[in-house]
Amino acid sequence: MAGEEVERGARRTVRRIGIALSLLGGLAAWEALTGYYQLTAGEAAVVLRLGRYERTEDREGPHLMLPFPIETRDVVHVGVSQRRDFGDAEAADATRLAETAMQTGDNNIVLVEFVVQYRVGNPFDQLYRVADSERLLAEAAQAAMREVVGRYTIDGVIGERKGAVASEAAELLQELLDRYQAGIGVEAVELQEVQPPGPVREAFDDVLAASQDRNRAVNEAEGYANEVIPRARGEASERVAAAQGYRDAKIADATGEASRFLALAVEYQRAPAVTRRRLYLETLEVVLPEAEKVILEPGTALPYLPLPAGAERGER
């Protein structure tokens, strides 16, 4: 009896060990099946533990987590740029056309087609903060574009302010998405087609063509001004420099004459008669540079005056 009891106890122990090993093997297999996963480039996994947010894994490669249902994961593509188109000016669908029509600041209707480029910035917010992130993006983009278009006139939206409209719409859209914690990052907003409604499109085309002609004329005038003004400034600088040189020369001549006069005044005070005679003779040399001069001393006389050649014949 004792031997049979020992044998039955040994069998029970073996069965328990086998059950334990089976459980461990099953748990290992379940862990390998539900707890092991891999992430590729541009992917992120949001891990929940018993339904509560635990962590976000964005490292490329293999990862482990507790088996289901203790932990669960949702994989989101965060490194891929996505695109959403809005509006269609040629659409026959009234809903699509209503999405395209917008009112400008000067109470005109304009048809706007634009594109939003975005990517997931916060995977948890994108999955769990909002019920439908795609719908939220669509409505926020429409609201942002309509608000920005309402700030400008139709000429600005169609023409020269298109870049400003797109930039302001991207900023406003990002503010709206951040306010709702949508987890979406806006990369760019691009205006594709902006045009007035069909019945008035021809008239606006004429206005746009006139605006382009005006801009071209302004550019040509500015180019001409940029060519003429530097040349005129150069000529003005040249004349100013010449005038300054002439002024400096005249000042130098006047200064020299004044110094010479002062020097002569000093000499005249020392010897008035000699200085007066010398000045008289120098003046005659200046006044009659080519005349033949004869100087007679007081008390002397000549029997005749020699005349220049040809004087006898009346030549000059």
Structural domains of the chain, count: 3
pLDDT digits over 249-297, tens only?
A: 999 999 998 998 888 888 888 888 888 888 888 887 777 776 666 666 6
Given 147, 171, 196, which residue is the final one in a domain?
A: 196
Which residue, chain included where needed, has tokens 């795609």? 134
Which of 17-31, 54-68, 220-234, 279-293 bottoms out in mean pLDDT, i.e. has the lowest?
Answer: 17-31
pLDDT over threshold 70, residue 182: yes
232: in domain: yes
Q: Are residues 216 and 189 in the same domain?
A: no
> Which pair of structure tokens corresponds to residue 285?
């040399």
The reply to whether 162 and 104 lie within a common domain is yes
pLDDT tens digits for range 40-73: 888 899 999 888 888 888 888 888 887 888 888 8
Is 23 among the domain residues?
Answer: yes
Q: Containing H/E element for 293?
A: none
* 58 in a structural domain: yes
SS3 18: helix
Same domain, 88 and 189: yes
The DSSP line for 162-214 is HHHHHHHHHHHHHHHHHHTT--EEEEEEEEEEEE--GGGHHHHHHHHHHHHHH
DSSP tag of 86? E
In this predicted structure, what is the pLDDT of residue 217? 92
Residue 65 sits in which domain range? 6-77
203 and 183 within one domain:
no
Nearest to 54 by CA among 62, 45, 67, 63: 45
Strands 109-120 and 43-49: unpaired
Q: Model-level pTM greater than 0.85?
A: no
Measured in degrees and rounded to the nearest 5, phi and psi for residue 249 equal -65, -45
* CA–CA dist 58, 213 (Å, integer): 54
Same structural domain, 203 and 165: no
What pLDDT was estimated at residue 23? 67
Sign of torsion over alpha carbons 10, 12, 15, 19: negative
Q: Is residue 295 in a domain?
A: no
SS3 291: coil
Per-residue pLDDT at 161? 86
Q: What is the pLDDT of residues 87-126, one digit of tens each?
A: 887 777 777 777 889 999 988 888 999 999 999 989 999 8
Domain shared by 12 and 107, yes or no: no
pLDDT category at 315 given cuts 50, 70, 90 is: very low
Rounded to whole angstroms, the Cα distance separating 66 from 30 reads 10
Whether 181 maps to a domain, the answer reads yes
Same domain, 174 and 190: yes
Out of 25-39, 230-244, 279-293, pick the least confident: 25-39
Q: What phi and psi, each to the nearest 5 degrees, are found at residue 52?
A: -105, 145
Higher-confidence position of 25 and 68: 68
State percent of the chain over pLDDT 90: 31
**297 within some domain:** no
Shared-domain flag, residues 97 and 178: yes
What average pLDDT does the segment 13-41 reach? 71
Domain containing 124 — which CATH number? 3.30.479.30
The string of pLDDT tens digits covering residues 284-313 is 777 777 666 666 666 665 555 555 555 444
Task: Indicate whether 130 and 189 sit together in one domain.
Answer: yes
What is the distance between the alpha carbons of residues 189 and 115, in angstroms, rounded to a whole number? 6
Beta strands in the chain (DSSP E): 36-39, 43-49, 52-57, 61-64, 71-77, 82-86, 101-103, 109-120, 184-195
Last residue of a domain, one of 196, 217, 251: 196
pLDDT > 50? residue 3? yes
Flag whether pLDDT at 166 surpasses 50: yes
302 lies in some domain: no
Task: Tell whether 184 and 216 lie within a shared domain.
Answer: no
Q: Classify residue 299: in a domain, yes or no.
A: no
Question: Are 53 and 119 within one domain?
Answer: no
Question: Does 172 share its domain with 211?
Answer: no
pLDDT band at 218 (very low <50, low <70, confident <90, very high): very high
> What is the arithmetic mean of pLDDT over 15-27?
67
pLDDT tops 60 at residue 14: yes
Distance CA 88, CA 99 (A): 8
Contact 115, 192 (CB under 8 A): yes
Last residue of a domain, one of 196, 218, 246: 196
Task: Give the pLDDT of residue 300.
Answer: 60
